[in-house]
Structure 1
Amino acid sequence: MTQPLSATLSTAATHPDPYPFYADLVANQPFGYDTGSGLWVAAGAAAVSEVLAHPACRVRPSTEPVPRGILGTPAGDVFGELVRMTDGAPQVRRKQVLLQALSTITEEQVVALAAEQAGKATDWTDLQFGVPVRVVATVLGLGGNIPAEAARLIGEFVRCVPPSATAEDQAAAAAAAARLLDLLGPYLRAGSGGLMGELVRLAARDDRPKTAPLLANVIGLLSQTYDATAGLVGNTLLALARHGQPDDLAAFVAEVVRHDAPIQNTRRSVVTATTITGHEVPAGSAILLLLAAANRDPMANPDPHAFRPGRADPQVFTFGRGAHRCPGRAMAAAITIGAVAAVTGAPSHEGYRPSPNARIPVLKGQLG
């Protein structure tokens, strides 16, 4: 990867092998400013850890908490309530409710549901994208054809999330969000069973029964499942083709999360001037955190480029850390375990889907 740094950063997540590039950054520029992209770049594990924990580093710019292109639309209404896209006390409280509700779902339940849905998958793309969302929709307590429709709509909604989203992406997301709100709202208001009913119960217990934040974060849970789990399923299948069937599939999947991260990077916005790893970072700066690079920092994981399931105390940044650590990380792993165990045959691999941050292989061939 001999392009300028800014160009390389924009394509690293979908490059056939970005890891030598990441290793060079970790060794020589673990944190620094890139003039080409206008971004501060955190690659080393220490730098990524510091940014993720720093109170001045927020998930959204203070001047634009919701992207302008979806402000005032249903997609903007959902976006503004998501725990993954907000900071502060309300975010902490909502995340606590979400984590408490998720704790009522066992890994065994999710694995079994994923295996059942994988048996109905129509092709590799459906296995990667459709199965995870249908599993989460089923766990939420949605019935009938709603899980399948929710899977389709989430694919449209997530188009508004990347900073590179176009006006067309934002319009599609707004339409999808409106339909999702109509589709899921009655279930939430009825206090149905499943995870959605548990969310309603916990919110009412804590005297936070407002529907809008709950409904937005139901959509958020579905959307977080989408790209991240699609990448994890695909990267696990590729790792199985390279390394063979393991004795411990759960440990194998956990090492895929570290070694070939489905989410390669994320961003933070600096709201007040601060110092990070000795560098003065001005207010308003944007920081690109190379999570996949930090996973392979030898200061965090010995012999980091070796694929070694069952590592003792691995340091993994893929799902974030601190206040914004992904609440669905255990569910993503369980879905992957169930899905890949239920299929036979190995897909062919034809590059990666275009994305600024997700590493999702394009799989071809007969699904068995």
Structure 2
Amino acid sequence: MDVAEALAVLMSPQGRVDPYPVYERLRGHGPVVQAGPNMYVVTGYAEADELLRDARVQVLDDHLRDDLLPAWRDSPAVSSIARSMLRTNPPDHSRMRRLAAGAFTPRRIAAMRDVVTAQADELVDMMAAAGRDGTPVDFMAEFAYPLPVGVICALLGVPTADRPLFRRWAADLTGILEPEITPAELAVADAGATELRGYFTELVAARRRRPADDLTTALVQAHDAGDRLSGEELLANLVILLVAGFETTTNLLGNGLAVLLAHPGAADVLRRHPEHAPAYVDELLRFDSPVQLTTRTSSETVRVGGAELVAGSWILLLLGAANRDPRRYPTPERFDPWRAQLAPLSFGAGPHYCLGAGLARLEAQVAVPLLLRRLPGLAPAGTPRRRSRLTLRGYDSLPVTVGEPAPAADHGAPAGTAPGTP
């Protein structure tokens, strides 16, 4: 299978459901391969990491976007992404990121552990009540979505009653992040963006009338202070902070639970030794990354992995493939939380390293062992359904039976030294 054929399969419904065999086909051509005129695909970990950190390798900016998509400003979805820190380069990216970074410092994230634990316990109680008679419960709808959306909405100051609105709007908008999108899919993404922008327009007005101790108020005040944040940037970054704040973590929780249900020995070790959650979460991120790819363009000629990427080249960085690079991770197809922990590229690297990575890790480190301890009988029920997405990999639904729950007071699982490899 040549590179063009492999890419065609990767973009197909079959490839989106299970991209890993296609990644290995592409890897067979080398860690950096040319896929067309000035277009390159990267599967190697070292090469992807190097490119993500290279100042000459950038996200698509307005200048290039004007050449490729002259009418992009007419699309609410494209303009929402374009005006956010996700799709801007320094110095604008640095300026916007700095304004939001205060909410994601290690100290502030650590202080949220008790809040995350309390929310996770409440959701487990609700799952247990819904499935007490053996009825299957959709883990995505009942836990994987409401936990992270509750956390990011608390940071942004979004009222609890409004949180159920965002799942569909965000799912629609994130279609714009796919490497290929049809006009019909773009229309859906535009509708989601319009709803989100309308919501935050009202929230911004409310925070001007009555400031609060939340990130929305901080960004509104930065805008109103003068030259630090434009009106478009304010709305775009509120939208992207909300969407990115739960989409990745929702998929991490769903993908992670599916992996652990398929590896009951490893799940049992974590159930008895929750102190090993950080290693487990890093391995879950590596094994089935919630973010599978990102794109960049080169502003100058860059040499990497034996290839010469001329100025103006398009670069498809397959993070999911890089996380299974055997040069970095021996036997990468094996789920092994006891391997030497080398940070996966699931949250990117360099200037665009995910601002909320620490928060996502905390939520998973708290939630996954808590789920396993409180629902020791948790088991698959029925057929899970994957989303037809490649960039953001996750489940639409993941049905489970919950079994007999343990009480919330059972948090204090005895610490100890984990046994050998499960």
Decide: shared fold, TM above 0.5.
Answer: yes
Q: Which amino acid aligns with 1:29?
A: G
1:293 aligns with 2:321: yes
| Pairs within 5 Å for 1:25-104 | 25-26=26-27, 28-35=29-36, 39-60=39-60, 62-64=63-65, 70-72=72-74, 74-103=76-105, 104=108
Secondary structure, counterpart of 1:63 in structure 2: helix
The CA deviation at 1:42 is 0.5
* C-alpha distance after superposition, 1:123-146 (max 9, x if no partner): 333233344223211232222412
Gaps of 5+ in 1: none
Q: Which amino acid aligns with 2:215?
A: L
Separation in 1 of the partners of 2:199 and 2:79?
12
Separation in 2 of the partners of 1:147 and 1:331?
18
* C-alpha distance after superposition, 1:242-279 (max 9, x if no partner): 22321233321221001111111111122344433342
The CA deviation at 1:38 is 7.5
Separation in 2 of the partners of 1:311 and 1:204?
49
1:222 aligns with 2:238: no
Separation in 1 of the partners of 2:30 and 2:7?
14
1:315 aligns with 2:366: no
Which of 190, 193, 196 aligns to 1:177? It is 196
Separation in 2 of the partners of 1:19 and 1:153?
28
> Contact 2:179 / 2:391 at 8 angstroms: preserved in 1?
no
* Structure 1 pair 201–313 and aligned structure 2 pair: CA distance change class (3 A): farther
* Structure 1 pair 326–261 and aligned structure 2 pair: CA distance change class (3 A): same
> Contact 1:160 / 1:173 at 8 angstroms: preserved in 2?
no
> Contact 2:86 / 2:352 at 8 angstroms: preserved in 1?
yes
> Contact 2:172 / 2:189 at 8 angstroms: preserved in 1?
no
Separation in 1 of the partners of 2:169 and 2:363?
20
Which of 283, 294, 303 aligns to 2:311? It is 283
Separation in 1 of the partners of 2:179 and 2:206?
32
Task: Give the paired residue count.
Answer: 366
Secondary structure, counterpart of 1:266 in structure 2: strand
The CA deviation at 1:288 is 0.9
> Contact 2:200 / 2:238 at 8 angstroms: preserved in 1?
no
* Structure 1 pair 218–114 and aligned structure 2 pair: CA distance change class (3 A): farther
Q: Which amino acid aligns with 2:178?
A: P
Moved more, 288-297 or 21-30: 21-30
Secondary structure, counterpart of 1:269 in structure 2: strand
| Pairs within 5 Å for 1:215-254 | 215-244=235-264, 245=267, 246=270, 247=273, 248-254=276-282
Separation in 2 of the partners of 1:187 and 1:109?
29
* Structure 1 pair 117–7 and aligned structure 2 pair: CA distance change class (3 A): farther
The CA deviation at 1:203 is 7.7
> Contact 1:274 / 1:282 at 8 angstroms: preserved in 2?
yes
Separation in 2 of the partners of 1:205 and 1:182?
18
Which residue is equivalent to 1:125? 140
Moved more, 108-117 or 204-213: 204-213
Q: Which amino acid aligns with 1:83?
A: M
Which residue is equivalent to 1:192? 212
Which of 134, 148, 162 aligns to 1:146? It is 162
* Structure 1 pair 64–210 and aligned structure 2 pair: CA distance change class (3 A): closer
The CA deviation at 1:339 is 4.3
Gaps of 5+ in 2: 128-136, 403-422
The CA deviation at 1:212 is 4.2
Moved more, 190-199 or 26-35: 190-199
* Structure 1 pair 25–209 and aligned structure 2 pair: CA distance change class (3 A): closer
Q: Which amino acid aligns with 1:9?
A: L
Which of 218, 233, 236 aligns to 1:213? It is 233
Which residue is equivalent to 2:384? 350
Cα root mean square deviation, aligned: 3.3
The CA deviation at 1:338 is 4.4
* Structure 1 pair 296–235 and aligned structure 2 pair: CA distance change class (3 A): same
Separation in 2 of the partners of 1:138 and 1:268?
32
The CA deviation at 1:354 is 0.5
Q: Which amino acid aligns with 1:255?
A: E
**Given the two structures, how large is their TM-score scaled by the length of structure 2?**
0.75
Separation in 2 of the partners of 1:71 and 1:204?
24
* Structure 1 pair 153–5 and aligned structure 2 pair: CA distance change class (3 A): closer
* C-alpha distance after superposition, 1:80-113 (max 9, x if no partner): 3211111111201221232222122335045325
Separation in 2 of the partners of 1:196 and 1:34?
42
1:135 aligns with 2:131: no
Which residue is equivalent to 2:109? 105
Secondary structure, counterpart of 1:301 in structure 2: coil
**Given the two structures, how large is their TM-score scaled by the length of structure 1?**
0.85
> Contact 2:297 / 2:313 at 8 angstroms: preserved in 1?
yes
Larger radius of gyration: 2
* Structure 1 pair 128–38 and aligned structure 2 pair: CA distance change class (3 A): farther
Q: Which amino acid aligns with 1:52?
A: L
* Structure 1 pair 332–227 and aligned structure 2 pair: CA distance change class (3 A): same
Secondary structure, counterpart of 2:41 in structure 1: strand
Moved more, 358-367 or 95-104: 358-367
Which residue is equivalent to 1:4? 5
Which residue is equivalent to 2:177? 161
> Contact 1:23 / 1:296 at 8 angstroms: preserved in 2?
no
Moved more, 302-311 or 91-100: 302-311
Separation in 2 of the partners of 1:78 and 1:22?
31
